[in-house]
Every structure is written in structure tokens, then in C-alpha cells.
Chains A and B, each alone.
Chain A
């Protein structure tokens, strides 16, 4: 077999939003200087942790559901080729068309071509991480097609010429007053007396988008789940913008990562219990739409499903890291992460921020392109406890740290430390030397990287050996 035939490949550079412009420590330092951001994030993540904890506590079998969800995902990955082919068969049999996209560039080309074929120049969009990941909006705009984000938070991001900072609530970094100001500045026809009452802001979005929903003929969505056994797609949402996009247009194009497939219809009974409680902290999200191909006389009469790789097969090739593909995009790990809560999502550089982003983004792009992200964690383990499908994020972080390129000075220092510890006399002398550094707070160059974000530990006034000898 030649090497290009099926070698797992990372996501290409120059397209999409998986790589940041600067390293995590540099971006985080800037974010930490923004007090408003930290207040907004602390408020929002505290709220969601409380809500989520309460509804999870209502279920006596939460841990059993997590175990089932985790095993279902692992079983799905092991049978992925067969399940994807089954999904294609069943979607096709129900009147849909399935496309396969090896990377972001190909997915963007397929979707743009499908929209162009309809003759329409505007699409309405349901919030979708996959289309954010591949930079679909930019590709559509370059082809002269206007993408309109219809999820409230995505709309806030789009109107604010901003970037998403959270998987579930992309505008989590904005408080109500900032959102009002964006609407006043950017929303055509908005009431100039708009207040910052959340219900009023939601009503403004309803008025602004209603005509667009009714007049746009093409929609683009992501998918939370796709059932191989039946060809059924599922989108979970809250506002009704998803229902609008999935039922009003003539043409629906769904872009979905290959890892989103589930084997059977019954498997949804697990994920439909896990996802809402872990993500928005609701017993059930207000609206879930499920459709299988095309239903004559009801909803879009043309349905396209684009199955996206874009680095996922490279993740799958790593036996430790592949469980990052089990993610159901609930964002519980973001909401419990002490690092995310302080830096916000933009510091991660990728559309996938927080703990799951710190393991997913470097694997999708190759560790070299996101080398600082595996270090964007204190390894406290809160993400592992919160994950509804039990992804062991801390273990993957440690694994990726070993994969990441290490600076020469670090390798030399580690080799020197190993040699010293192997030689008792040298070790004793090193301990005495260390005492001389008692008043130091920072290491000198070239070792200052280590103390840039932590204090140098204080050596004790007396070593154990000295104490033992003088006993």
C-alpha cells in the first residue's frame, strides 16, 4: 500500500480556525489583564456549574449513563468505517445526498458549490462547531455568499466582529450591557431605546431575524448526532433558530465531523440524557430536531450531509489521545476549569477552547502547531470529573506534553539533574549550592522560562542529610 493511501493526516494550515496567532501564555497574559472579561466569565461559569450540578443530582443513574456514553463512543470509533458507510446508505435511501470531505478546504468547496448550485446568495446558519472549525463563513463570503448566524450568541459574535470564546455560548465573554451596545451599533432597525434586560435583547434578535428566516432558501447546520442504523440526524438547541433553519428553507446542508455518528437509534437514549444536563444545565434543552433524509411535503426537499475528516483520523491514530474524539461538545470541562475561567476562550487560539480544546486542537493540527496548549492546564482533574463521557483529559494532556517539542536547555537541565541524582556526593554539593539561591525568585537565562509563570521553590534552611548527620 502506498503511503498516501489512507495515512491519517492532520488539518491543513491556512484554512479554518484551529491555530492561534500567538502562544497560550502570551495570549493568556493579555486576557488576564481584562478585568471585565474575568468578571463576566466568573459570573457565567458559576451560574452554569450550579444549574448543571442540580439537574445532574436529580438522576440516580448519572454515573451509569456516563459509563454507557463512554463505552458507546469507544465502540463507535472501533467500528467507524462500517458505521459511516451504513449512515451513508440510510441517508441516501431516505432521499439525502452524502459527501465526504478529507479536510477543511474540500468541505468548504463542497458547501460553497452546493449553495452556488441553488442560485441563492444568502444562507442561514445554525450554530455549528464544525463549520467554525473549517472557516466556512469566510469561504462563503469569498464566493459572494452571505452567511447569517442565527444562534443568539453567534449573532452577537458576528455583529460584534468578534471571535467565539466558548463551545456552547460563543459570546460568554460579553455581559448584557456589552451585548446591548453591540445591538445598538450593528443591528439594522433596532429600537434606539433598547435596554440591557436579557428578555428584551432576545426579543430584539427575534424581530431582527424573523424576516431573514422566512425569506432565505438555503440553510447550513452542524449535527449533534447521526444514527447509522436509521440515517437520522439530530440537532439540539434552545431558541428555535435551529427549527427555523431545519424546516423553512428548500435546501439543507449539514456539516458533521465523522466522529459524531452513533450506531443505533437506541443509543440516543444515553446521549439525550447526558448532553443537556452537562451543557446548559437543563433536564432537556427546549428544542431537539430529528430528521431522516427528506420528508415529502414537510421541510427542506433537498438535503446534503457533508462528512468531515480534517485531522480527525490523525487523532484516531493516537491510542491515548483518540478519546478526545468522544467529545459531545457540552462544554462542561470549560465551565469547571480554573484556567479557562480566568483566561477565557480566545487565549486558546482555536475554536475549541478550554480543557477539551487543549487536547483536541493540538491533535487535529499536529502538536507542533499548537505546542503550548497541552500546558494550558494545572492538571487539577476537574474536567475529567465533569465530562459526561468520561474523557480522561489530564492523561491526554500529559501524553501530549511528551509529544511536544522540548527546548534544548530543558533537555540539558534534565540530563544534568539525572546525572547529579545518580551521584550522592554531587547531589549533596548541589543541595548546599541550592541554599545559596534562597533569596532568588527567578531563574537566570536560559532557564527563566520555567519561572516566568511560577515562583522558584524555596530550598529548606537545612537539608535532610545535614539534619541526619547532626542528629
Chain B
């Protein structure tokens, strides 16, 4: 007998005729709240992300002096400062510039899904500075709204502030293995 059959048999024997209860979904469901961009900014800043607002993405990127920059293949070329060269290999990059798929106001979270303007997961992981561009129509109110928009079959990375740890005396300290600096550019449209 396979271990699968053994385990499934054990589970059936353990359960007997246990019935599944109904799940009360009386919490705030998707679509019940308005997305509040000001709340998103507040929550991003609270977790030590730096927020920039405005539509001159290239200008903001240039002002951050990102150094050696890596970008995903499908990034909007207008976001790159004129004349700024990019590197091919994320191992050599100081910074990465990506788009996002969804941003959650209530938790200060941005989600990347590996689309061409966000790239492979590793490019937003190795560089020390992550610059992420979020459009207003990508901002949702809360976690259920994000779940409703996301495609689970894509590789998803939920990011809430820079890399951090609570492992030393349970105090949050920013800056461990992921990018130590997270800058979010909120465009006007």
C-alpha cells in the first residue's frame, strides 16, 4: 500500500462522518470599501518605505541616483532617465526599477506578479534599492480586494516595506537579506 493510501485511509478513519460547518464570511469582503491612496501612503511610510508622488517617474528615478540599475524587459521606457544605462545581470545591480500589480492601502503592501514590467522574482530581490512604480488604479482597499484581482497561477511577491526582522528581542529592525531601501513612486494617473 502506498503512503498516500495509508494517510488518506487514516484520515477517513479519524474523521468518521464529521460534517463540514458553514463558513461565516461577515468580515469586510472585496468591493465593500473604497481604496484610499492617502492611507496607502501613511502605511508605506510607517513601515519605512519612502513615497514619491508625481508623474515624472524618470525625474524621480534620476534624483534617487540609483547607480547600476536593472530593469525588467517590459518596463515602460519613458520611466528611465534619458541616457541612463542599465545592467543586464541583477547580480551586478545596485538598484531595480519595476512596476507593480496591486497595492493594498490598509496594509501598505505592494504585490508583484512577474508580468513583463515586473520581471523575474530575483531581480527585485538582490539589489539593495527597489524602486516600484504604482498607478492609482492599482490601489485597492484591503487584502480581500487584492486577492480578487490577483492570479494565483503567477509567482507572487507581496512586499510590505523594506526587508526587516523581529528576531532580536521582537523589535522590528529594517535591513536584512532583501532590499534595504524601498522607494514607491505613486503616479497621478
Q: Name which residue of chain B comes closest to A80, CB basis.
A: B11
Q: In the bound complex, what is the Cα–Cα distance between A339 and B11 (angstroms)?
A: 33
As a 0/1 sequence over residues 73 to 117 of chain B, the CB contacts with chain A under 8 angstroms (1 = contact) are: 000000000000000000100000000000010111100001000
Binary CB contact string for chain A from 313 to 324 against chain B (1 if under 8 A, 0 otherwise): 110110100100
**A-B contacts, CB under 8 A, total:** 266
0/1 interface trace, chain B 153-189, chain A, CB 8 Å (1 if under): 1111111111111111111111111110000000000
Within 8 A of B (CB), among A8-25: 8-9
A window 62-84: CB within 8 A of B: 64-65, 67-68, 71-72, 74-75, 77-81, 84
B residues less than 8 Å from A169 (CB atoms): 166-167, 170
Of A136-144, A265-273, A365-373, A404-412, the one with at least 4 CB within 8 A of chain B: A265-273
Is A5's CB within 8 Å of the partner chain B? yes
Contact check: which of B7, B167, B174 meets A307 at CB < 8 Å?
A: B7
Please report the C-alpha to C-alpha distance between residue A177 and residue B2 in the assembled complex, in whole angstroms: 50
In this complex, the interface size class of chain A, counting residues with CB under 8 Å from chain B, is 35 or more
Assembled-state Cα–Cα distance A210/B180 (Å): 14
Distance from B158 Cβ to chain A, minimum over Cβ atoms (Å) = 4
Contact B177 A284 (CB under 8 A): no
The residues in B between 138 and 165 inclusive whose CB is less than 8 angstroms from any CB of A are: 142-144, 147-148, 152-165
Asked if A247 and B167 make an inter-chain contact with CB atoms under 8 angstroms apart, the answer reads no
CA distance A238 to B47 in the complex (A): 12
B125 at the interface (CB under 8 A from A): yes
Residue of A nearest to B125 (CB): A243
Do B4 and A6 have beta carbons less than 8 Å apart?
no
- Does A286 contact B24, Cβ atoms closer than 8 Å? no
Is the pair A71, B23 in contact by a Cβ cutoff of 8 Å? Answer: yes
How far does the alpha carbon of A193 sit from the alpha carbon of B1 in the complex, in Å?
Answer: 59
A-B CB contact pairs (8 Å), 22 listed: A5-B1, A8-B14, A67-B26, A74-B21, A75-B21, A78-B18, A102-B3, A153-B167, A198-B169, A232-B152, A239-B176, A240-B178, A241-B176, A243-B125, A266-B147, A272-B143, A273-B27, A284-B158, A309-B10, A313-B7, A313-B11, A313-B14
Chain A contacts to B: CB under 8 angstroms: 5-9, 40, 43-45, 47-48, 51, 60-61, 64-65, 67-68, 71-72, 74-75, 77-81, 84-85, 88, 94, 99-102, 106, 150-153, 156, 169, 171-172, 175-176, 179, 198-199, 201-203, 205-206, 209-210, 213-214, 227, 230, 232, 238-241, 243-244, 246-248, 258, 265-266, 268-270, 272-273, 276, 280, 282-292, 295, 297-299, 307, 309, 313-314, 316-317, 319, 322
Q: Which B residues fall within an 8 A CB radius of A?
A: 1-4, 6-15, 18-28, 30, 43, 47, 91, 104, 106-109, 114, 120-122, 125, 142-144, 147-148, 152-179
